[in-house]
Amino acid sequence: MRRNITLKPHNTFGLDVMAAYVASISDLRGLEQLRKSGVWQSERRVVLGGGSNCLFMDDYFEGLVILMNNKGVSVQDLGNGRVCVSAAAGEDWTSFVQRMVAAGYSGVENLSMIPGKVGAAPIQNIGAYGVELKDVFHKLHAFDTQTGQLVDFESKDCEFAYRSSIFKTTFKGRFIILSVDFILQTTYQPNLNYGAIRLELEHMGVVIPGIQDVSTAISNIRRSKLPDPMQIGNAGSFFKNPVVHELVFHDLQREFRGIAGFPEKDKTIKLAAGWLIEQAGWKGKRVGDVGVHQQQALVLVNYGNATGRDIFSFAMEIQQSVREKFGIQLEPEVNFI
């Protein structure tokens, strides 16, 4: 355990936040020993994977930051064209997806290039291009910080929802995910429901796409739209895409031509938050060291020396602007710490 350590390398916004205590965990024994420490008992705790979906509000975090760095991936053949893949929480998500694609295991290729680590994926129920984590999830293994016991969670236990799970609601902060099990396929049926994928595959000259082709296409799309956190601080999509009843959507269509909407269940429509933000005049706008990315209005960026409070205030202005123009309340996807 180290004291007074900067978290700048550990959050993709690149905020120079100091933490009172930082502990790197590489195995269960290390976590069990940490739980016995006085710091664990007395300090506020937060677990970071890749720090890719969080915003530290203050320049100093008075508490314990736990970095999950355990490693390991194993594969069990289930037969009938299925495998169960178990990945440690500290595995880099992008590297994990690339490894699965290279092995010919399908199911996560549409989730290519999402920043973060495996352990954070179920918490957020990460999703992109027609696929969510829950679609390939089998179960996870977690450490109960209250009892010190190991607990398994199956899909039905996780209460997966759009960019949410029980680990963001009822059990927020209680469980530390140690590993995640996925059910993947050895035969490939591409999910090309999002038009951008087909267009990119056409641009690549691919007629019959394989797993690698789809992964490459999605990676190309993400690179063209999203800034690299290594180059400019950001946390990807800052807001969730709002979901409204279809009657509300029809009213919006009459007033705002070109508004994008995607049918969901129970007569609801998912709106494109990026479109709303852009139409409200925020795309490419910059105030000091905080701004909205020029290529993707859903992404807030740190141009250098912004603080968490700067980014938060800027985001709330966007939220208010969209609410005033469209009557839609944007909900942040990023976690505030």
Give the total number of structural domains in the chain: 4
Q: What is the mean pLDDT of residues 301-322?
A: 97
222 within 8 A of 112, measured Cβ to Cβ: yes
- Mean pLDDT score across all residues of the chain: 95
Task: Give the pLDDT of residue 249.
Answer: 96
Catalytic residue positions?
163, 237, 333
Predicted pLDDT at 49: 86
CA dist 209 and 109 (Å) reads: 12
Q: Give the bridge partners for 164, in sequence order.
A: 161
Are residues 314 and 249 part of one domain? yes
Query: What is the tens place of the pLDDT at every residue in 46-60?
Result: 999 889 999 999 999
* 332 and 246 in a common domain: yes
- The pLDDT score that the predictor gives to residue 265 is 84
Q: Is the pLDDT of residue 132 over 90?
A: yes
Please write the tens of the pLDDT for every residue from 75-90. 999 999 999 999 999 9
**pLDDT higher than 80, residue 232:** yes
- pLDDT band at residue 192 under the 50/70/90 scheme: very high
Q: Are 101 and 215 in contact (CB under 8 A)?
A: yes
82 in a domain, yes or no?
A: yes
Split at pLDDT 50, 70, 90, the class of 134 is very high
pLDDT at 189 over 90: no
Percent of the chain with pLDDT over 70: 100
Residue 260, pLDDT score:
85
What pLDDT shows up at residue 216?
97
Is pLDDT above 90 for 140? Answer: yes
Q: Is the pLDDT of residue 195 over 90?
A: no
Model confidence at 65, in pLDDT bands (50, 70, 90)?
very high
Q: What is the mean pLDDT of residues 130-146?
A: 97
Note whether 176 and 203 are same-domain residues: no
Number of other CB atoms surrounding residue 294 within 10 Å = 13
The verdict on 94 and 167 lying in the same domain is yes
Does 174 lie in the same domain as 206? no
DSSP β-bridge partners for residue 268: 245
CATH number at residue 26: 3.30.43.10
In a domain, 120, yes or no: yes
List the structure tokens of 41. Answer: 């008992």
193: confidence class by pLDDT, cuts 50, 70, 90: confident
The range of the structural domain enclosing residue 214 comes to: 195-221
The tens digit of pLDDT for each residue in 237-273 reads: 999 999 999 999 999 999 998 998 989 888 999 999 9
Residue range 78-129, pLDDT digits in tens: 999 999 999 999 999 999 999 999 999 999 999 999 999 999 999 999 999 9
pLDDT for 194 equals 80
Residue 245 belongs to a domain with what CATH number? Answer: 3.90.78.10
Amino acid occupying residue 47: V
Residue 190 lies in a domain: no
